[in-house]
Copies of this chain bind each other. A is one copy, B any other.
Amino acid sequence: MTGSTASPRAATAARAAYFVSDSTGITAETLGNALLSNFPGFAFVKHTIPFVDTPEGAANVVRQIADDAAAGLDPIVFRTTKTQSVSSVLSTAPATTIDLLGGHLTELEEALGTTASEQLGQFHMLGDPTQYFARMRAVEYAIEHDDGQSSRALDIADVIIVAPSRCGKTPTTMYLALQYGLLVANYPLTDDDFPTDGLPRLVAPYASRCFGITTTPLRLSQVRHERRPDSRYASLAQCTIELRRAEDLYRRNRVPFLNSSTKSVEEMSAVILQTLRLRP
Interface residues of A (CB under 8 A from B): 1-5, 7-8, 15, 23-27, 29-31, 33-42, 46-48, 50-51, 76, 80, 82, 84, 96, 98, 100-112, 114-119, 121-129, 132-133, 135-136, 139-140, 143, 146, 168, 170-171, 174-175, 177-178, 223, 226, 263-267, 269-271, 274, 279-280
Contacts and interface: CB of A to CB of B under 8 A. Distances in A.
A74 to B, nearest CB: 8
B27 A34 contact: yes
A116 B39 contact: yes
Contacts of A174: 139, 174, 177-178
A219 B76 CA distance: 42
Contact of A3 (B23, B118, B124): B118
B38 A105 contact: yes
A101 B266 contact: no
Contact of A178 (B143, B146, B175): B175
Contacts of A267: 23-24, 122, 127
When all copies of this chain in the complex are counted, the total is 2
A277 B80 CA distance: 22
Contact of A170 (B31, B109, B136, B264): B136
8 contacts: A1-B105, A2-B118, A24-B269, A31-B31, A37-B123, A38-B108, A122-B263, A124-B266
A117 B38 contact: yes
A226 B132 CA distance: 14
Interface centre among A26, A133, A266, A267 (most CB of B within 10 A): A266
A109 B3 CA distance: 11
Contacts of A46: 280
A114 B26 contact: no
A135 B4 contact: no
A115 B7 contact: yes
Contacts of A4: 115, 117-118
Contacts of A2: 109, 115-116, 118
B170 A1 contact: no
A267 B51 CA distance: 9
A46 B125 CA distance: 13
Contacts of A47: 279
